[in-house]
Amino acid sequence: MLKHDSKTPFAELNTSEDEPIIEIQNVTKTFGDVYAVDDVSLKIYQGEFFSLLGASGCGKTTLLRLLAGFETPTAGRILLDGQDVTHLPPYERPLNIMLQSYALFPHMSVADNIAFGLKQENMPKAQRIERVNEMMQLVQIEKLANRKPHQLSGGQKQRVALARSLAKHPKILLLDEPLGALDKKLREETQFELVNIQERLGITFIVVTHDQEEAMTMSSRIALLRDGRVSQVDTPRRLYEYPSTRYSASFIGSINLFEGTVVSQQDDQVLIDSEEAGGQLLVRHSQPLVAGMDVTVAVRPEKVRVTAGSEQEPNHVQGIIKEIAYLGDVSIYHVDLPTGKRIQFTQSNIQALAEQPLTWEERVCLSWQANSCSILVE
């Protein structure tokens, strides 16, 4: 996962003294008897690159449309800079949105599209032209000023839409699947450009996406949504390393899950009896747990190592390699345990051809450390 770690770690920044720029308070939106957004509360802070991530139909777009003012919540409040905007029409909200379809005005040139918002606030012409040029420079489309939208490629349209939504210098920009219509290569290039623009302008970005890799690459924080509810809100790193629910564990990346029951807890070391793993597992977990409680132990495939098989290792299992997927940078191995459970582990291919590569039907001993796995309660 490519993550620009130079950014402020927002997990530490989000103290209760900080005033959120957007506060969503218990917002619910129903369409007929369908709960598109179900009692969602979120706080988003100034300068964040905040992603709403989830599968299709999870309510992420509805939540964004509620923020833009295209929909009115069935219940709950939305605060912007402390001001209640729940019932404010879109044209009076001090934020802008870049729609998924881009929605460029087909009868206007690129320059006129970008100037549209500025004309609405009656900005003097000279100033307007200056701002439009500035925006076109920002997204590098100066040469397209007189083109009409139908004369543009998908990538160019995306840039025009971005320039148009940034022209009014909003404090908050909402982006609905901003890279959804682009092909893979262009998408990867544009990801970093979006982050650069966001950092340069210091605007709060709220992005809707279904692409976990995109969310991981760009975001400072991610809200993972499921069936209209928030499953977990965290930084990409914490969301990946310490998922708090089974859903967030399995939505981002791949993971091995072992069902089990708590045996004992000493300090922050929890002993778990897992039939699936064929023995006892040791996990570092700081929250207090009750003995006999049903939990799930989650281990990422890259945290599992091949060992000599000494009994001193805390978490160890033995199995037979059944499938190997060679991906170039890493290889993924599928291993069947004697309990019938199939687990995955990965090895990075450091050498071009290892002297003794692992092969099909080979018996391997695997283990992982107590602090590289986590316990899921939900």
- Chain residues that interact with other proteins, rule: CB under 8 A: 68-70, 89-93, 96-97, 99, 101, 103-107, 116-117, 120-121, 148, 150, 164-165, 168
C-alpha 267: how far from chain center:
32
**What is the smallest separation between the CB atom of 97 and other proteins, expressed in angstroms?**
5
Of 150 and 185, which CB lies nearer to other proteins in the complex structure?
150
**What is the smallest separation between the CB atom of 35 and other proteins, expressed in angstroms?**
22
Of 64 and 249, which CB lies nearer to other proteins in the complex structure?
64
Amino acid at 325: A
**116: number of Cβ within 10 Å:** 16
Of 80 and 222, which CB lies nearer to other proteins in the complex structure?
80
* SS3 of residue 159 by DSSP: helix
Of 60 and 300, which CB lies nearer to other proteins in the complex structure?
60
Of 59 and 69, which CB lies nearer to other proteins in the complex structure?
69
In order, the DSSP letters of 184-240 are: HHHHHHHHHHHHHHHHHHT-EEEEEES-HHHHHHH-SEEEEEETTEEEEEE-HHHHH
**What is the smallest separation between the CB atom of 230 and other proteins, expressed in angstroms?**
25
Long-range contact pairs involving 164-167 (C-beta distance under 8 Å, separation at least 24): 164/98, 164/104, 164/113, 164/114, 164/116, 164/117, 164/135, 165/96, 165/97, 165/98, 166/96, 166/135, 166/138, 166/197, 166/201, 166/203, 167/114, 167/115, 167/117, 167/118, 167/131, 167/132, 167/135
Determine the Cα–Cα distance for residues 241 and 239; give it in Å rounded to an integer. Answer: 6
**What is the smallest separation between the CB atom of 112 and other proteins, expressed in angstroms?**
10
**What is the smallest separation between the CB atom of 339 and other proteins, expressed in angstroms?**
51
Of 100 and 280, which CB lies nearer to other proteins in the complex structure?
100
Determine the Cα–Cα distance for residues 190 and 218; give it in Å rounded to an integer. Answer: 10
**What is the smallest separation between the CB atom of 124 and other proteins, expressed in angstroms?**
16
**234: number of Cβ within 10 Å:** 19
**What is the smallest separation between the CB atom of 103 and other proteins, expressed in angstroms?**
4
- The helix (run of H) or strand (run of E) holding residue 268 is none
**What is the smallest separation between the CB atom of 174 and other proteins, expressed in angstroms?**
9
Of 165 and 190, which CB lies nearer to other proteins in the complex structure?
165
Contact 206, 91 (CB under 8 A): no
Q: Which of 259, 264, 263 is nearest to 277 (CA)?
A: 259
Of 161 and 270, which CB lies nearer to other proteins in the complex structure?
161
